[in-house]
Amino acid sequence: MKKLFTKIAIAVAGFTGVAVAQQDPQFTQFMHNKLIYNPGYAGTSGAICGNAQFRQQWVNFDGAPQSIALAFDMPILPKLGIGLNVISDKIGPMNTLFLRIPVSFLVQNVGGGTLGFGIDVGFLQKKINNTWITPEPGKIDNKIPGAYDALSNPELNKLTYDIGGGVFYQIPGKFYAGLSCTHLPGQKITGENEISFKMKQHIYLMSGVHLALNPRNELIPNVKVKSDVAASAVDINLTYMYDKMLWVGATYRLSDATALMIGYQGHNASGGLSYKIGYSYDLTMSKLKGYTSGTHEIILGFCLTQKVKKLASYGDDRFLN
């Protein structure tokens, strides 16, 4: 019964877009991987940067969401940035693969920061397999893939184009803000029979500011708002960072979860390479809290900066920009 309930709930959320279940995957450590939300971010750090993020949501649920995001970006000209996003998202019988190439036009020295206007172009693959347990034995829903004794609805496995856009502004180590939208075409992916999946535009608003308490201690509030008009999710985060190396933080996702996070960033001896590792744990606060032991998320990243002949700064703030 538990497995049946889980698969039904996840499938309904995926097909109808309800239950704060926007079609884009959810990540708690959003402030460490901004490129997957906003193509305008590409190249704004002035470095060659990469991130790998893994999230296992709702542990102990059969078919629970599992998401992986890989992001890479760099400036290639003084006014041009480019990147790559690869995202895999699995929810019950549904698998979604996103591959997008973000390109941004960079305007330097705007109020002491960099303003990026970006667009990403790529494809998405939506697959829904027909390994299914029917909500009511003997009943057939032609809009849901599934095997029903002698009858069977085919799988949905379609590839289509994907386009997004965004504007991103940041003053490294001080402030950032971005507004973006994914899946701008909002196309309907149609398979055989009546099986189909409607992609919805997702709007993201992100911002954060570094508040220095003294040279070694700072507070960094971050916020992310995600909406597909029908439903919205708001993440409010407060991170404390010590010596530009160690951070701890807490996030509250309205009506859904609270999360704790910890991380470390270091630098090689020459100062050209920076690396980071972060972990977060979400405690579910919705109606699912009695059925799951929480959500785990890990992020790994690096930034490679070009060496310049000047006095070296104490650290590199890029990871929390």
**Residue 2: what are its φ and ψ, rounded to 5°?**
-65, -45
Q: Which amino acid is at 242?
A: Y
Q: How far apart are the first and last CA of the chain?
A: 45
Placement of tokens 């709007």 in the chain: 203
CATH number of 2-320: 2.40.160
HSE-CB at 114 with a 13 A cutoff on CA atoms is 22
Give the whole-angstrom CA distance, residue 28 versus residue 224: 10
Query: Where in the chain are the domains?
Result: 2-320
Give the whole-angstrom CA distance, residue 204 versus residue 225: 6
**Two tokens at 12?**
């309904």
Nearest to 79 by CA among 35, 34, 116, 37: 116
Return the pLDDT at 146: 60
Return the pLDDT at 285: 81
Return the pLDDT at 321: 67
Return the pLDDT at 53: 98
**Two tokens at 11?**
């499938």
Return the pLDDT at 91: 86
Q: Give the chain's radius of gyration (CA, Å).
A: 21
Q: pLDDT under 70 in the chain at which residues?
A: 1-22, 130-154, 192-195, 269, 271, 287-291, 307-321
- Coil vs helix vs strand at 154: coil
- Sign of dihedral through CA atoms 250, 88, 34, 267? positive
Return the pLDDT at 194: 63
